[in-house]
Amino acid sequence: MDILRIATAGSVDDGKSTLIGRLLFETQSITKDKIEALKAASQRKGLDFVDLSLLTDGLIAEREQGITIDVAHIYFNSPNRKYIIADTPGHFEYTRNMVTGASNASVSIILIDARNGVGEQTRRHFYISSLLEIKNVIVAVNKMDLVNYDQAVFEKIKSDFNEAATQARKPGQNISFIPLSSLYGENIVNVSEKMTWYQGESLLQLLESIPPISLEKENLPFRFPVQQVIRPKKDEFHDFRGYAGKIASGSISKGDMVTALPGNQISKVDKIYKFDTELESASQNESVVITLEDDIDISRGNMLVKVGEQPEFSKQLTAQVCWMDTNPMRAGSAYLLQHGINRVKTKVSQINSSLEISNFEEIANAEALKLNQIGVVSFRLAGPIFADKFEANPSNGAFILIDEFSNNTVGVGFML
């Protein structure tokens, strides 16, 4: 069974929480006691309907202000697969949360209020979806009930979106448009009878038709960051030396020839273990233990790749960076760079350009990269990392930046 991870984004009041509440409700994912609690809470607020948005607005401050502050994770099952929704806030001061929530998603649902049409927020959400190489984008035009389910309104939004999206659009990206009403459940699970002019699928039907991600990633190079070296030193496993890790991309089989980076030692895969089971092969996202035929010196942070499939690595790199901290990044500042599990010290050589995501104003040779800005940045590293270009292999092409004084994660980088 596969898991489909979805990121949802929308402005305040686009009805994102109601949409998610509706999906849960219609897939019978809400238990009776939770529905009772919702009814009671809706009544306390003086509403004459059950407010499904209260299901996901979890924090006290959010309920007081009626907005979403932080990424919430919501789970439901359809008859075919498990879904995980990362529900991210729409207002721009929380852009970092949107990048965070969307970083694991393979589908992005962008909500638009039919009355308001395409706005700056919509452009921003699409830009971030593209930045993260999200292949499937669903533009959900919500609150169609408030515009009398008018086809012209929907078509106008569709063409406005396509126009606004031209620049950020990635090759191979699928963009679908759905008119819906979360409040009344139109086009959520079943195709709406109120919008017969719409020929497409309902939201859930569309989600169900997205192929499992594993099928798309079969041809990527094998990347295995070593998390730990397992040496039990028990009588039974006296000479055992296994490399534990989660396969970042690609696949590996017994007998494959591998190179250990950065030492460039070559050896042959002897065994692949998952707990006490021996596997013939393993692929992306599997946590395994690999043993090699030769005793070579490998430690945490090293990487196993197939011979001839090495990523280029040097002590300099350029990346697109999204800044997430109130203290701006400046040329000359030092940080810890974490690629996968591998950490190295780094210094910012140059901020080549910065983009203010609230108004898309671009500055060349910027002095600083501020909170929620996205820039092209060059770094010098104290040691090598074994990364691919983000566009070519997203699961081995991103890194985070850590401030050594606050210990906070202050930025995320996408290898160029």
Measured from the CB atom, the residue of 66 and 117 that comes closer to other proteins is 66
Q: How near is the Cβ of 280 to other proteins at its closest, in Å?
A: 16
3-state secondary structure of 230: strand
3-state SS, one letter per residue, for 317-377: EEEEEEECCCCCEECCCEEEEEECCEEEEEEEEEEEEEEECCCCEEEECCCEECCCEEEEE
Residues in contact with 234: Cβ distance below 8 Å, sequence separation at least 6, in sequence order: none
CB of 78 to other proteins, least distance (A): 8
Q: Which is nearer to other proteins, 187 or 396 (CB)?
A: 396
Strand, helix or coil for residue 80: coil
Q: Measured from the CB of residue 74, what is the shortest distance to other proteins in angstroms?
A: 7
Whole-angstrom Cα distance, residue 18 to residue 3? Answer: 22
Classify residue 155 by burial, with Cβ atoms within 10 Å: 0-12, 13-18, 19+. Answer: middle
Q: Which is nearer to other proteins, 378 or 408 (CB)?
A: 408
- Residue 394 CB, shortest distance to other proteins, in Å, is 8
Is the Cβ of residue 176 or residue 408 nearer to other proteins in the bound state? 408
Q: Which CB atom, from 50 or from 146, has the smaller least distance to other proteins?
A: 50
Q: How far is CA 18 from CA 22, 108, 151, 195, 355, in A?
A: 6, 17, 22, 20, 32
Question: At its nearest, how many Å lie between other proteins and the CB of residue 214?
Answer: 9
Pick 99 or 110: Cβ nearer other proteins: 99
Q: How far apart are CA 88 and CA 94, in angstroms?
A: 9
How would you classify the pairing of strands 3-9 and 107-113?
parallel
Least CB distance to other proteins at residue 398 (A): 6
